[in-house]
Amino acid sequence: MKIKQTGYYVVLVLMAVLVANIVADKFFFRIDLTGDKRYTLSNATRNIISNLDETVTVTAYFSADLPAEVARSKREFRDLLTEYRNISRGQFEFVFVNPSASEDVEKEAIDEGIYPVMINVRDKDQIRQQKAFLGAVVEMGTRKEVIPFVQPGMAVEYALSSAIRKMQSTKRPLVGFLQGHGEPSPYEMQQVMAEMSVVCDVVPVDLSMGAGILDSITTLAIVSPTDSIDAAEFGAIDNFMAHGGRVLACVERTNASLDRLFIAERNTGLEKWLAGKNISVDSKVAIDNYCANVNVQQQQGMYRINVQQQFPYVPFIGNFGSHAITTGLEQVQMQFASPVVYTGDSLAVFTGLLFTSDRSATLNVPTNIDVQRQWSGRDFPLAEIPLGGVLEGCIGGVPNSKMVVFGDGDFALNGDPRQPHQQSPDNISLFVNAIDYLSDDTGLVELRTKGISARPIAQLDDSMRSFLKWFNVLLPIVLVLLIGLIRHQQQRNLRIKRMEEGYVE
């Protein structure tokens, strides 16, 4: 009888699993338990896809027989496309193609702008390289956008929604970069330009040629001027804001020389113009105990050796305000940055975007740089010094205005195009997110860093580090001893019970 009942239960479970699979195949859904909701479509994407007036077709070129970690990207991309199709009201279709199936299909993928990449594949305890296609073509009518490489961890929803948005828009936002006052050229911001090319166009702005160039600009970026800006040009910028223009100001209030180990004050007039908008960018340098290290030569007997020395002038920023511009960011590196403080009233709302750690301070300039200095906790009595923010509302008497200000002008620069240095991805995302937020009201800015997780190890003091070290060492030992004691007590109780009169096994 028991065997018969067990058979019924097995049949019922199998039928339940079969029905669940049929329902799941007909009605696609998934539960997102991730902290950043990376598998949940944003409102921006839903607005774009649900309002399509023309069919979008995605042709995904993915090779077959991919290793597990790469195949996961393919599976997640297919799930994402399925969700797009489900909310599109019949205006979104997709198909997956294996370019490795034939030479003609491979040539088709390459002609579309999707080139193979080499990936590592483990085969019988050996690693070999395999050619693979991992890209997609997005089409709407005669318009076409290409996602050449869908790599693990990338912000795929941003890439896909931006491509569709780009095809929908007949006119892309135009962002101007102020020139003529020692500012870096767009060629010195290669990473920024590459990211911005997705959703906007860029043009240099020289106000000495006339203010009319601002008429077609959506956002004006003022990045690290070193020479004075005259009053007439600031008047043109005020007029630009009065007609709905937005401004990003990256202010370099100090002039730091690592050759002379000296920090001087810098005045270009930009700080006075911002003060008229109730934004104070002090001529101070923020220092932080959570910072970069530099190599310093020290004498050890007869030899000079390089040692790592704390350099608080280059803080690592991991404390961000809650805002679309900083969503998804993990760590930004500033250098010789200055505090940014709002001094106005409630007619405008100032939201801090990034702050120093709880062990920081400010130094007045001019001041010397002492790379040999041994810093202590007493040197960092302040906490959460704001280094940037967004101001919205009535700015300078102009309602419904927007402005973003950072107290560092160099955090997104690559320098000389012939010998560029790479900035961290979060530095670039912070700058481009600010431009996107000012230039585009769709909300796509929130997706740029969605899915990206580069979580640095938080800084720990010596006592906490020592505690965690011994905790990890001793915890397994304590658990083993505890389990042993429990098992010993259970066996002892069992022996006592078996010795009792009338005990039956």
Determine what percent of the chain is predicted with pLDDT higher than 70.
85
Q: For residue 375, is it within any domain?
A: yes
Q: For residue 340, is it within any domain?
A: yes
Same domain, 349 and 468: no
In the predicted model, what is the mean pLDDT of the chain? 86
Structure-block tokens of residue 19: 């029905």
Of 167, 194, 213, which closes a domain?
167
Query: Is 283:365 a contact under the CB 8 Å cutoff?
Result: yes
Q: Residue 249's pLDDT is what?
A: 98
Q: For residue 458, is it within any domain?
A: no
Query: Is 254:336 a contact under the CB 8 Å cutoff?
Result: yes
Q: Residue 460's pLDDT is what?
A: 57
Q: Residue 33's pLDDT is what?
A: 47
Query: Is 266:253 a contact under the CB 8 Å cutoff?
Result: yes
**Domain coverage including residue 475:** 463-505
Comparing 463 with 311, which gets the higher pLDDT? Answer: 311
Same domain, 116 and 252: no
Same domain, 149 and 259: no
Same domain, 246 and 192: yes
Number of domains making up the chain: 4
Comparing 361 with 24, which gets the higher pLDDT? Answer: 361
Q: Residue 462's pLDDT is what?
A: 61
Q: Residue 298's pLDDT is what?
A: 62
Q: Residue 328's pLDDT is what?
A: 82
For residue 99, cis peptide bond before it (omega within 30 degrees of 0): no
Same domain, 259 and 400: yes
Same domain, 289 and 381: yes
pLDDT of 455 over the 70 cut: no
d(CA 408, CA 315): 12
Q: Residue 454's pLDDT is what?
A: 47
Q: Residue 358's pLDDT is what?
A: 95
pLDDT digits (tens, 9 = 90+) for 47-71: 889 888 899 999 999 998 888 878 8
Tokens 């790592």 sit on residue:
308
Distance of CA 57 to the CA centre of its chain: 28
The pLDDT confidence band at residue 73, using thresholds 50, 70 and 90, is confident
Query: Is 135:127 a contact under the CB 8 Å cutoff?
Result: no
Comparing 494 with 23, which gets the higher pLDDT? Answer: 494
From edge to edge, which strands make up the β-sheet containing 291-300?
Answer: 291-300, 303-317, 332-333
Q: Residue 251's pLDDT is what?
A: 97
pLDDT digits (tens, 9 = 90+) for 218-235: 999 999 999 999 999 999
Torsion on CA atoms 466, 373, 371, 224, rounded to nearest 10: 90
The predicted model gives 413-433 an average pLDDT of 92
Q: For residue 457, is it within any domain?
A: no
pLDDT of 420 over the 80 cut: yes
Same domain, 261 and 237: yes
pLDDT digits (tens, 9 = 90+) for 279-323: 999 999 999 999 999 876 666 666 666 778 899 999 999 999 999
Q: For residue 403, is it within any domain?
A: yes
Q: Tell me the CATH number at 161.
A: 3.40.30.10
Same domain, 232 and 334: yes
Q: Residue 47's pLDDT is what?
A: 84
pLDDT digits (tens, 9 = 90+) for 120-147: 777 666 777 888 899 999 999 998 999 9
Same domain, 207 and 105: no
Query: Is 371:353 a contact under the CB 8 Å cutoff?
Result: no
The pLDDT confidence band at residue 41, using thresholds 50, 70 and 90, is confident
Comparing 478 with 175, which gets the higher pLDDT? Answer: 175
pLDDT digits (tens, 9 = 90+) for 205-221: 999 888 888 999 999 99
The predicted model gives 160-176 an average pLDDT of 83
Query: At a CB cut-off of 8 Å and minimum separation 6, what does 266 contact?
Result: 226, 252, 253, 254, 255, 283
Q: For residue 405, is it within any domain?
A: yes
Q: For residue 235, is it within any domain?
A: yes
Q: For residue 454, is it within any domain?
A: no
d(CA 66, CA 76): 14
Q: Tell me the CATH number at 437.
A: 3.40.50
Q: Are strands 262-265 and 254-257 parallel, antiparallel or unpaired?
A: antiparallel
Same domain, 405 and 505: no
Same domain, 24 and 138: no
Query: At a CB cut-off of 8 Å and minimum separation 6, what does 254 contact?
Result: 263, 264, 265, 266, 283, 285, 336, 338, 365
Same domain, 293 and 322: yes
Tokens 């259970």 sit on residue:
490
String of DSSP letters for 87-134: HTTT-EEEEEE-GGG-HHHHHHHHHTT---EEEEEEETTEEEEEEE-E
The predicted model gives 404-424 an average pLDDT of 93
Q: Residue 503's pLDDT is what?
A: 61
